[in-house]
C-alpha cells in the first residue's frame, strides 16, 4: 500500500481483520447536522490577564489613527523619492555634454602690460578693461538654475569646439591668446610710428579636427616648416604645397613643437569635405602664419590664466595709452572686446551677452564691441552703459575721442600696413 504523507510515522499499516484493540470509534453525527442544520459554534470567553493580549493580537496593525498616518507618510515619502530619482536622471540626460557661458571678469589691461625701461610710461586716470566669460560644465542641478538666468547661455560641446578635439580646447585657446597679444603689440607700435620687423617662420597649427588625417599627428601650437622637404614660411605656402598632392598621397611634414623640438610626421592625405568645394587633398587643420617679431622697444603682455583672441583690441588700446601723454579714455573707464588683425581690423568674438553683464558691474561708461555683437550687447547693456560698435582700430580711436579722450599723442593714421618678410 502506498505511503500516505499525512500519516504520522510514514509507514504502512497492514489491515487486521476483526481487530478491536486500538480501533478509534467514530462519533455519531449530531442530529441537527444530519438534518442539514448547522450546529451553533460555542462562544469562547476570555478571562484573566491574557484576555487583553488576545484582543490586541486580533486587531489589525494599521487600524489605529497613528498607524494610518504612519502608512500615509511612508507612501508619500516613497512617491517623493521616486519623483526625485526620475527628475535627477532626466536632468542628467538634459545636461549631458552641455557647457555654461557665464559672466566672467572685467580687468584693467594696464596690469597685464609691461614696458621695459628706458621707454617712458605715462600713467593715466582713464582705464581700459578687457572682458572675459566663465566656461564650465553643467551638472543636473546646475541645469535648473542656469536655465532661469538670462545672463547664462547653455551650449553643447559641439557648438563650443566645432570639429576640433575637446581635449585640445585649452591648448587652442592658449595659442590664440599668444597670437593675439603679439599682434596687439605690433599694431599698437606701428600705429605710434615705430618700425616693427616681422619674419614668417611657418604655418602654425591652431586647431586639429577630430577623425581627420592630422588627428594624432599634430596639435595646437605646432609649426609646420616644410612639406616633403620644401620650406613653407607662411600659411599660404603650406596650402600651395598640399594642393600639389591628391587624396591618398603620403606627405612628410617637418614640424617644430612649442618646446622647440623638431620632428617629422608622415600623413596620408584624405579627401576634403563637400563644404570646401571641389574635392582636393585634405589634412584637417586650421593654421595661420607663425611670425617672429623684432620690436624697437620692450613691450610684453601677460594676460594670466585667460585664453582666446577676444582681448586683442583692448590690449592694443592699452599699449597706446601707456606710451602716450594723452589719456585716451579721457579719465573714464572703458570696456573693450574684439580681436585685432595685423591690418588693424576688429573681428567678432563670442559670449558678448555674458561680457556685457560683467561690464555692467563696473564703472565703465562705454563698451566698444565688434559690429556683429552690437545688437546683443545693446540689448543687455541697461540704461547706463553706452555700447559703441567699431570695425577697426581707427574706429575705436574715433569713438574714444567722442567720449572726451585725448589723442594728441597718437598722430595721424599710417597710409598702409607694412608687409611681413
In tens digits, what is the pLDDT along the chain, a chain of 421 residues? Answer: 444 343 334 444 433 444 434 333 434 434 333 323 344 444 444 444 444 444 444 455 556 777 777 777 877 877 777 766 665 555 454 545 788 889 999 999 999 999 999 999 999 999 999 999 998 887 776 777 777 888 888 888 777 767 777 777 788 888 999 999 999 999 999 999 999 999 999 999 999 999 999 999 999 999 999 999 999 999 999 999 999 999 999 999 999 999 999 999 999 999 999 988 899 999 999 999 999 999 999 999 999 989 899 999 999 999 999 999 999 999 999 999 999 999 999 999 989 999 999 999 999 999 999 999 999 999 999 999 999 999 999 999 999 999 999 999 998 887 765 555 5
103-135+175-196+295-421 against 200-290: fold identical: no
State the DSSP H helix or E strand holding residue 171, giving kind and residue range, or none if neither.
Answer: helix 169-191
State residue 9's pLDDT score.
42
Cβ atoms < 10 Å from Cβ of 120: 9
User: pTM of the full predicted structure?
Assistant: 0.74
What is the C-alpha to C-alpha distance for residues 366 and 369, in angstroms, rounded to an integer? 10
- Degrees to nearest 5, angle at CA 100 with 95 and 102: 150
Count Cβ neighbours within 10 Å for each residue of 94-112 and write b for 16 or more, e otherwise. Answer: ebeebbbbbbbbbbebbeb
Most distant pair of Cα atoms in the chain: their distance: 143
3-class DSSP state of 21: coil
Note the helical H segments in 59-168.
Answer: 65-95, 140-147, 157-161
Q: Report pLDDT digits (tens) over 55-97.
A: 444 455 556 777 777 777 877 877 777 766 665 555 454 545 7
> What are the residue ranges spanned by the domains of the chain?
103-135+175-196+295-421, 200-290
Q: Report pLDDT digits (tens) over 158-184.
A: 777 677 777 777 888 889 999 999 999
200-290 adopts what CATH topology?
Pdz3 Domain (2.30.42)
Match domain 103-135+175-196+295-421 to its CATH number in 3.20.20.70, 3.40.228.10, 3.30.70.980, 3.30.230.10: 3.30.230.10
Cell numbers of 181, please? 597679444
Percentage of the chain with pLDDT > 70? 79
- Average pLDDT across the chain, whole number: 83
What is the C-alpha to C-alpha distance for residues 312 and 310, in angstroms, rounded to an integer? 6
Cell numbers of 273, please? 569635405
Amino acid at each position: 500500500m502506498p505511503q500516505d504523507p499525512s500519516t504520522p510515522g510514514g509507514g504502512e499499516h497492514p489491515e487486521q481483520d476483526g481487530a478491536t484493540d486500538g480501533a478509534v470509534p467514530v462519533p455519531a453525527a449530531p442530529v441537527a447536522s444530519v438534518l442539514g442544520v448547522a450546529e451553533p459554534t460555542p462562544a469562547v470567553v476570555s478571562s484573566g490577564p491574557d484576555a487583553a493580549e488576545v484582543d490586541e493580537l486580533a486587531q489589525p496593525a494599521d487600524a489605529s489613527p497613528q498607524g494610518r498616518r504612519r502608512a500615509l507618510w511612508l507612501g508619500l515619502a516613497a512617491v517623493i523619492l521616486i519623483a526625485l530619482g526620475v527628475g535627477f536622471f532626466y536632468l542628467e540626460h538634459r545636461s549631458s555634454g552641455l557647457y555654461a557661458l557665464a559672466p566672467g571678469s572685467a580687468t584693467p589691461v594696464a596690469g597685464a602690460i609691461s614696458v621695459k625701461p628706458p621707454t617712458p610710461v605715462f600713467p593715466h586716470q582713464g582705464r581700459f578693461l578687457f572682458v572675459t566669460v566663465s566656461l564650465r560644465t553643467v551638472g543636473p542641478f546646475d541645469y535648473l538654475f542656469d536655465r532661469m538666468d538670462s545672463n547664462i547661455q547653455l551650449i553643447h560641446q559641439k557648438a563650443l569646439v566645432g570639429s576640433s578635439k575637446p581635449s585640445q580646447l585649452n591648448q587652442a585657446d592658449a595659442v590664440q591668446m599668444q597670437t593675439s597679444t603679439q599682434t596687439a603689440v605690433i599694431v599698437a607700435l606701428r600705429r605710434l610710428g615705430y618700425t616693427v620687423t616681422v619674419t614668417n617662420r611657418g604655418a602654425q597649427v591652431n586647431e586639429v579636427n577630430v577623425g581627420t588625417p592630422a588627428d594624432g599627428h599634430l596639435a595646437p601650437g605646432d609649426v609646420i616648416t616644410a612639406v616633403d622637404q620644401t620650406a613653407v614660411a607662411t600659411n599660404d605656402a603650406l596650402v600651395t604645397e598640399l594642393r600639389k598632392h591628391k587624396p591618398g598621397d603620403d606627405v612628410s611634414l617637418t614640424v617644430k613643437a612649442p618646446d622647440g623640438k623638431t620632428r617629422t610626421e608622415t600623413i596620408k592625405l584624405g579627401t576634403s569635405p563637400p563644404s570646401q568645394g571641389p574635392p582636393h587633398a585634405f589634412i584637417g587643420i586650421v593654421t595661420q602664419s607663425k611670425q617672429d617679431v623684432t620690436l624697437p622697444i620692450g613691450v610684453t603682455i601677460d594676460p594670466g590664466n585667460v585664453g582666446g583672441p577676444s582681448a586683442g583690441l583692448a590690449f592694443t588700446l592699452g599699449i597706446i595709452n601707456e606710451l602716450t601723454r594723452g589719456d585716451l579714455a579721457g579719465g573714464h573707464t572703458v570696456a573693450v572686446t574684439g580681436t585685432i588683425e595685423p591690418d588693424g581690423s576688429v573681428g567678432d568674438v563670442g559670449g558678448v551677452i555674458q561680457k556685457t553683464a560683467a561690464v555692467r558691474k563696473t564703472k565703465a561708461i562705454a563698451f566698444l564691441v565688434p559690429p556683429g555683437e552690437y545688437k546683443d550687447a545693446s540689448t543687455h547693456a541697461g540704461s547706463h552703459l553706452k555700447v559703441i560698435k567699431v570695425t577697426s582700430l581707427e574706429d575705436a580711436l574715433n569713438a574714444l575721442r567722442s567720449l572726451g579722450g585725448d589723442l594728441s599723442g597718437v598722430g595721424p593714421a599710417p597710409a598702409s600696413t607694412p608687409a611681413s618678410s
